[in-house]
Amino acid sequence: MQDVFLFSGSIENNIRLGNNDITRDRVEWAAQEVHANAFIQKLDGGYESEIRERGAGLSVGQKQLISFARALAFDPTILILDEATSSIDTETEQLIQQAVERVMQGRTSLVVAHRLSTIQKCDRIIVLHHGELREMGTHNELLSQRGLYWRLYQLQYSDEKLHVTGDALSDAPLESGLA
């Protein structure tokens, strides 16, 4: 969720959510897979570090990484990500993107996002506007249609050229604004 809920207690217990069937090795593996291990190891107590209610003292990105480690540790068959990359700084975004990709591997995932970088590699993107389904397809298919998704992409990447694999679009300069 965009507002990760962490409990007071150790980082390890926050990842395993009290499920003692999840071993310490699995907790550490999950944290490594989503790149949370690096910041956890820097904490005085590592995985035993106590965090305060709601993760006070941790950055939004660190909380998100812990939540991704939690998801991997539990290995769900269906995963729902709700604005998982909102409210993060640019430096953390790349780590979060890699974590999202890792967590989604091998499972059905429903991803709700306004940040298009979060969904570009999804198998199917559904564009909703005012509660109505407006477009559906892959990232490249939607860009080539030059519809609502394409305009949203232009707004988010107005300083860059469109990046589409293959010959779907040229690298023409972008216009800004929604029509």
Which of 61, 89, 113 is the last residue in one of the domains? 113
Whole-model pTM above 0.75? no
Contact indicator for 105, 80 with CB cutoff of 8 Å: no
Which of 88, 113, 138 is the last residue in one of the domains? 113
Residues 6+ apart with CB under 8 A from 79: 71, 103, 104, 107, 108, 109, 110
> pLDDT by residue (tens digit) across 94-133?
777 777 788 888 889 898 888 888 888 889 999 999 999 9
Which of 93, 113, 133 is the last residue in one of the domains? 113
Domain that holds residue 43: 9-113
Specify whether 109 is located in the same domain as 62: yes
Specify whether 104 is located in the same domain as 59: yes
Contact indicator for 39, 46 with CB cutoff of 8 Å: no
